[in-house]
Structures are given as structure tokens and as C-alpha cells.
Amino acid sequence: MSRRENFTAYETMPEDLAIYMSHNGPHFNKAACTFAVENMFNEEGDAITPYTKKDVENILNSNNVKVKNTKLYDAIYVANMCKADYLNSSITSEQSLAKYIKDTLDDPDGCEGLTFNRWIADMKWLGVPIPWDEFI
């Protein structure tokens, strides 16, 4: 096994997930990202106002942060997850948010699709069904 392979290579997958993975690999497409972000809440339990793709591009560009390993909508997911869970706590500025996105996606010892795999694991743990057929 190469160090960059992800756990989904060894799991029995639902057919719709296998089809999704054949098109997107272990990464968020727009529909999967939208679903994931719609299920994010802040510390008070309120839905967040999500960052758009354009918002995230502006945050990264305005802070001179270049992400090497972002694919599809992974950066948008990470930015919104950070907004829901860490912004105004351990992440205190837009610059820190930009660096968090980069650090998460460019993690040198992280596996391919680490963020996506973590999201799948979280959804399983929480008992939230993922409608893969809606993302294809």
C-alpha cells in the first residue's frame, strides 16, 4: 500500500459511493460539499452562513496563501468546517483561516483525501446517511 492511499480502497462501498469515487476520487464535488456544509453548525447549534468558492479563493489570495493539494471543493469544505468549529476560537483571523486551509490540505504526512475520509467517518459516527446518488 502506498502511503498516500486512503482507507476507502479497503472498504466495501455502497454502489453509489463507488460511482461517486470513480468520478471524484476521495474529494468533495460541489454537491457533496453543499450537503456537508448544510449540515454544519457552530458552537451554539446554529447553521453557519457558508463561504462560497469565490469567498475561499479571495481569502486565500488576499492572504497570499497557495494550496498545492486542493482538489475540487476540498478547500471550500475545510474553510466552512473551520468557520463552524474553530473561527473566533483557536482560529482568530482570516489570515489564520487561510493558513489552516493550507495546513490541512497540504499536510505532508496526510493521505490522499484525508479530509473527505474524515467527513465520511464523522457522518457514519453521527448516524447521518449520505445520499451519494444525489452527488453523482
Q: Is the pTM of this model over 0.75?
A: yes
Specify the pLDDT at position 6.
Answer: 52
Tens-digit pLDDT profile for residues 86-123: 888 898 899 999 999 999 999 999 888 999 999 999 99
Which tens digits make up the pLDDT trace of 5-35? Answer: 455 555 677 899 999 999 999 999 999 999 9
The pLDDT of residue 11: 61
pLDDT of 85 above 80:
yes
Confidence of residue 66 (pLDDT cuts 50, 70, 90): very high
Q: Over the stretch 48-60, which tens digit does the pLDDT of each residue have?
A: 999 999 999 999 9
The partner residues of 47 in beta bridges, in order of sequence, read 41
